[in-house]
Amino acid sequence: MNNPTDDLIRDFAQERRKRIDEFDKTKVRCGIIGRAGSGKSSLINAIAGELIAKTGPIETTGLDPETGKVDTSFVAQEFTHKGLTLVDLPGCGTQNWPKETYIDKLKLNTFDCFLLVTSGRFFVEDAFLFRELTTHGKPCFVVRNMFDAAVESGLHDHPRHTEQETRESITRNIRQNLDSSCPNRIYLTSAWHPTRYDLAQLLDDISSVLDGLKRERFIADMATYSEDALKKKRAVAIERVPLYAGLSAANGLNPIPGLDIAADIGILLQMAAEVSHIYGLTSKQFEYIQRLLGAKAVPGLLAKLAQFAAKYLAKEGIILLLKRIASRTAAKQASKWVPFVGPLIAAGIGWQATFMLGEQLIDEAESLAREILDNIIKGSDLPES
């Protein structure tokens, strides 16, 4: 005969696992529209906060597999960052991709949003796509990339020309090219100075047009370029951590050596990896941070990242933390977590320690991410040599 308590715990664990899997399977698909040379690859990397697209002095996407030559009209290039897929779309209105069949052939109605990117003027085909996609109800954000170069060029030609004047001039030109279909906001961005212009606002606005799990998925996968982004990431992490921690407590079969706590360490490691990704603290994400900050600014942050990884991303570190947390856990903490885990799990061994571990993990990850953000902002504000 089954033990009712065991059945309840099993059901609780299955429900937590289901919610974890639903989030993991959620995908956000964003199309990138624009001509070669507009810095799409750099922008893709900046959005992800990771080097997922090759960049270089020549166009590195859209290679014809038969000739090996650049042909940006040839094929769509997909770049995946966890649940976020950024698709560099082929040029519209070419022999390979005529306007009449472009949207249907590339199944653009399955995409969640689009970025119309330029580093100069827009072409007729770009304006056509913008109108068609918005008519189909698809969010389409207009982006003038490499704005830092435009500001520098403006100053070179006109020493008294201000950044605001350059902004107004470019915005006016884009509106003229897009005519009546132009949106209210034009985003001026720089992949090399992601905190200086409009990239943080662009990411915030993309997240705002997505719903439910897609919105959470995008927030989890986008780079962090503002304090507001950190707040949104914390909200997502707070939703994720109780699922992992509760599942670990429910699945725990063996006591932690030297302490009367049962927890599934493997699940806690998954939780730590998830939070690390959300806050941009994985090794691949930090490689991108190094490119932004430069060698001189990195050593101190690298040491802190190593300490964070030793504490939360290694089995030994997790066990040590659980022991320390359990030794100072007070009974009054119990009522706080009952809404997340239910009174049955709350009464079990190990639940308090796992949830307190999750809280501590979020706090330390956010603190480290904020320090990285502060360094990016300071570096971006420095005058260029």
What confidence score (pLDDT) does residue 261 get?
Answer: 56
Question: Exposed, middle or buried, 100 (CB in 10 Å: 0-12/13-18/19+)?
Answer: exposed
Average pLDDT for the chain: 82
Distance in angstroms (rounded) separating the CA atoms of residues 18 and 350: 21
Answer yes or no: is pLDDT of 385 > 50: no
- Residue that finishes a domain, picked among 203, 221, 239: 221
Task: Evaluate whether residue 10 is within a structural domain.
Answer: no
Query: Is residue 142 very low, low, confident or very high in pLDDT (cuts 50, 70, 90)?
Result: very high
pLDDT category, 384, cuts 50, 70, 90? very low
Q: Which of 286, 371, 372, 363 is nearest to 321 (CA)?
A: 363
CA atoms within 13 A on the CB side of 177: 22
Q: Give the CA dihedral 110, 225, 78, 285, nearest 10 degrees.
A: -140
Q: Give me the number of domains the chain comprises.
A: 2
Confirm if 33 and 116 have CB atoms less than 8 A apart: yes
Give the best-scoring range by mean pLDDT among 150-159, 247-256, 311-320: 311-320
CA dist 263 and 302 (Å) reads: 30
Residue at which a domain ends, from 170, 198, 221: 221
How confident is residue 339, by pLDDT bands cut at 50, 70 and 90?
low
Domain check: are 203 and 248 in the same one?
Answer: no
Residue 74 pLDDT more than 70? no
Cα angle 269, 271, 275 (rounded to 5 degrees) comes to 120
- How many of the other CB atoms lie within 10 Å of CB of 136? 11
Domain of residue 194, CATH code: 3.40.50.300
Confidence (pLDDT) at 305: 94
**Predicted confidence band of residue 298 (pLDDT cuts 50, 70, 90):** confident
Separation CA 285–CA 287 (nearest Å): 5
Q: Looking at residues 63-90, what average pLDDT do you find? A: 75
- pLDDT for 28: 98
Residue 359 has pLDDT above 80, yes or no: yes
Please, which residues have CB within 8 angstroms of residue 83's CB and are 6 or more apart in sequence?
24, 26, 27, 28, 217, 220, 221
Q: Are residues 265 and 370 in the same domain?
A: yes
pLDDT at 59: 42
Question: 35 lies in a domain?
Answer: yes
Asked if 261 and 375 sit in the same domain, the reply is yes
Q: Tell me: do 186 and 46 sit in the same domain.
A: yes
Residue, of 296 and 301, whose pLDDT is higher: 301
Q: Can you give the pLDDT at residue 331?
A: 41
The Cα–Cα gap between 269 and 267 comes to 5
* Assigned domain for 3 exists: no
pLDDT band at residue 295 under the 50/70/90 scheme: confident
* Intra-chain end-to-end CA distance of the chain, in Å: 76
pLDDT at 332: 41
Considering the domain architecture, whether residues 341 and 253 belong to the same structural domain is answered as yes
Spatial distance between the Cα atoms of 314 and 320, rounded to a whole number of angstroms: 10
Q: Has residue 115 been placed in a domain?
A: yes
Task: Please indicate whether residue 64 or residue 152 has the higher confidence score (pLDDT).
Answer: 152
For residue 141, which phi and psi values (nearest 5 degrees)? Answer: -100, 130
Which carries the bigger pLDDT value, residue 260 or residue 313?
Answer: 313
Is the domain of 196 the same as that of 122? yes
Inside any domain, residue 12 = no
pLDDT of residue 3: 63
pLDDT in the model for residue 8: 74
- Strand partners of residue 255: 262
Q: Based on the domain organization, do 70 and 193 belong to the same domain?
A: yes
For residue 18, tell me if it sits in a domain.
no
State percent of the chain over pLDDT 70.
80
C-alpha to C-alpha distance for 71 and 38, rounded to whole angstroms: 15
Q: Which domain holds residue 277?
A: 225-381
Strand residue runs (E) in 226-354: none
- Domain match, 258 and 316 both: yes
- How much is the pLDDT for 176? 81
d(CA 301, CA 271) in angstroms, rounded, equals: 22
Read off the pLDDT of residues 5-39 as tens digits, 9 standing for 90 and up: 667 777 878 898 999 999 999 999 999 998 888 88
Judgement on whether residues 179 and 295 belong to the same structural domain of the protein? no
198 and 248 co-located in one domain: no
Residues 6+ apart with CB under 8 A from 147: 166, 167, 170, 188, 189, 190, 197, 198
pLDDT tens-digit profile of 112-126? 999 999 887 777 787
Which has more confidence, 232 or 127? 232
Pick the residue with more confidence: 177 or 143?
Answer: 143
pLDDT at residue number 164: 87
pTM of the model: 0.87
Q: What's the CA gap between 142 and 187, in Å, rounded?
A: 6
Residue 235: is its pLDDT beyond 70?
yes
Q: Tokens representing 172?
A: 């006016």
Structure token digits, residue 370:
């904020």
Domain contains 146: yes
Q: Which of 197, 287, 274 is nearest to 237 (CA)?
A: 274
* Same domain for 299 and 231: yes
Final residue before a domain boundary, out of 221, 243, 278: 221
Average pLDDT over residues 246-270: 70
> 3-class SS at 106?
coil
What is the average pLDDT across 150-178?
Answer: 77
Report the relative pairing of strands 84-88 and 77-81 from DSSP bridges: antiparallel
Q: Are both 357 and 276 inside the same structural domain?
A: yes
In-domain check, residue 354: yes
Cβ neighbors of 87 (< 8 A, separation 6 or more) are 29, 30, 31, 32, 76, 77, 78, 79, 111
Quote the pLDDT of residue 178.
77
